[in-house]
């Protein structure tokens, strides 16, 4: 437990979610509760642990620009308690909403965490937990940072359009803009993966592991979301569901395309999309990330009287593009309004496609140099596209 607690507190700092100057506080329960550092809030958090059936507790003030973004969003919540309601796919399927309480009290925190995976306490940060592992607390924390970032910039564009941007909102925007411009510059300068084709299982696995790690290092995906696949002969190699793209060793399934094995049961939940595209398009590689401005741009629509408003992510009937990249509706699962139906057709024809509020899928004819390069370049294009929308 001590090793895992230290691993994930270090990872929060390494991925820029927390600062060395305000390090996270995490406790992990083994024979007894181990803390990564001493802190006056330990006693209160121990009460929270006793009130929940968990083995990990995390309190952390996010690094900038997330801190200013969360402060702004929390300031819009009326009263002592309320919720922040992002509309991205990650929130809809994983977080649902994000509670806010202005009282740093055990009873209030326990009540919020019995209902949701996180709670924001203005002035203190985010409190979250893991039921079986510190990794869960890391995932919950990073998901809140991602969803609040997407919501803030989505809201900012709408407020800018209507001429109602507040000074504190503008200040948080400028911090986020500077932060992300530097992130994009680093991503564009990152060495590209070796190009394929990869003609052996060993070469495929090596390329997938390196590309997954690069995708996380460049900030193109948070927590364990995103996936990667490659077609070699009659086998699709694909990352397992809930696997972290920067830790794919031992987490890649080899799935025969003829369905002769049940191994795909642990594969990515989007395996059906990968299978159809890879077996019918002549392309061999797919890389899926959640780059933030591609998600944000996909959600921007000024048609306020549209009959599908509020159901855009599944019902949008319009043909939409971000540059040359199609934007499609769709949700997880199978059916006419799911990405297993809506995503393969455009992804077979284009270099990439964005699923509304969800993320970016990029393809490579023979390998990941093309797919990874497209992921980063398209995100850079959407960052600039967004900034033009708000006059920056």
pLDDT-derived band at 223 (thresholds 50, 70, 90) equals low
| Predicted local confidence at residue 169, as pLDDT | 98
Task: Note whether 389 and 157 are within 8 A (CB).
Answer: yes
Range with lowest mean pLDDT among 100-114, 134-148, 306-320, 370-384: 306-320
178 three-class SS: helix
Range with lowest mean pLDDT among 155-159, 172-176, 306-310, 317-321: 306-310
pLDDT at 309 exceeding the cut of 80 = no
The tens digit of pLDDT for each residue in 12-42 reads: 999 999 999 999 999 999 888 999 999 999 9
pLDDT at 156 exceeding the cut of 70 = yes
Between 330 and 175, whose confidence is greater?
175
CATH architecture for segment(s) 190-389: 3-Layer(aba) Sandwich (3.40)
- E-state strands within the chain: 25-29, 33-35, 56-60, 81-84, 98-101, 118-121, 125-130, 227-232, 235-239, 252-256, 285-289, 320-322, 325-328, 352-355, 359-364
Range with lowest mean pLDDT among 42-56, 117-131, 220-234: 220-234
305 three-class SS: coil
The tens digit of pLDDT for each residue in 100-146 reads: 999 999 999 999 999 999 999 999 999 999 999 999 999 999 999 99
Q: What is the CATH number of domain 2-180?
A: 3.40.225.10
Extents of the domains making up the chain:
2-180, 190-389
| Predicted local confidence at residue 315, as pLDDT | 74
The tens digit of pLDDT for each residue in 252-292 reads: 999 999 877 777 778 778 899 999 999 999 999 999 999 99
């Amino acid at each position: 437990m001590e090793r895992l607690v230290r691993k994930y507190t270090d990872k929060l700092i390494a991925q820029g979610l927390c600062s060395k100057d305000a390090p996270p506080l995490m406790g992990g329960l083994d024979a007894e509760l181990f803390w990564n550092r001493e802190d006056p809030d330990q006693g209160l958090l121990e009460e929270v642990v006793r009130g929940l059936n968990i083995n990990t507790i995390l309190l952390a003030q996010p690094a900038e620009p997330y801190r200013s973004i969360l402060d702004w969003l929390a300031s819009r919540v009326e009263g002592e308690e309320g919720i922040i309601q992002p509309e991205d796919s990650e929130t809809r399927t994983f977080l649902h909403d994000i509670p806010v309480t202005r009282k740093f009290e055990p009873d209030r925190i326990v009540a919020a965490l019995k209902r949701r995976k996180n709670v924001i306490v203005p002035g203190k940060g985010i409190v979250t937990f893991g039921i079986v592992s510190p990794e869960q607390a890391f995932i919950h924390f990073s998901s809140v940072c991602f969803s609040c970032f997407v919501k803030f910039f989505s809201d900012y564009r709408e407020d800018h359009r209507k001429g109602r941007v507040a000074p504190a909102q503008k200040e948080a925007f400028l911090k986020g803009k500077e932060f992300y411009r530097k992130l994009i510059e680093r991503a564009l300068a990152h060495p590209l993966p070796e190009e394929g084709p990869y003609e052996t299982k060993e070469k495929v696995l090596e390329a997938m592991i390196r590309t997954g790690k690069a995708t996380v290092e460049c900030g193109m995906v948070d927590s364990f979301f995103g996936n990667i696949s490659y077609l070699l002969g009659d086998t699709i190699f694909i990352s397992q569901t809930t696997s972290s793209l920067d830790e794919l060793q031992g987490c890649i399934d080899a799935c025969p395309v003829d369905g002769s094995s049940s191994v795909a049961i642990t594969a990515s939940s989007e395996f059906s999309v990968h299978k159809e595209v890879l077996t019918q398009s002549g392309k061999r590689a797919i890389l899926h990330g959640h780059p933030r401005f591609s998600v944000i741009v996909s959600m921007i629509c000024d048609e306020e009287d549209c009959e599908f408003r509020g159901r855009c992510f599944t019902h949008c009937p319009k043909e939409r593009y971000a540059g040359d990249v199609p934007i499609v509706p769709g949700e997880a699962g199978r059916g006419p309004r799911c990405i297993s139906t809506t995503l393969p057709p455009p992804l077979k024809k284009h270099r990439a496609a964005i699923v509304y509020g969800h993320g970016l899928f990029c393809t490579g004819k023979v390998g990941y140099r093309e797919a990874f390069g497209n992921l980063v370049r398209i995100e850079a294009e959407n960052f600039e596209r967004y900034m033009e929308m708000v006059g920056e």
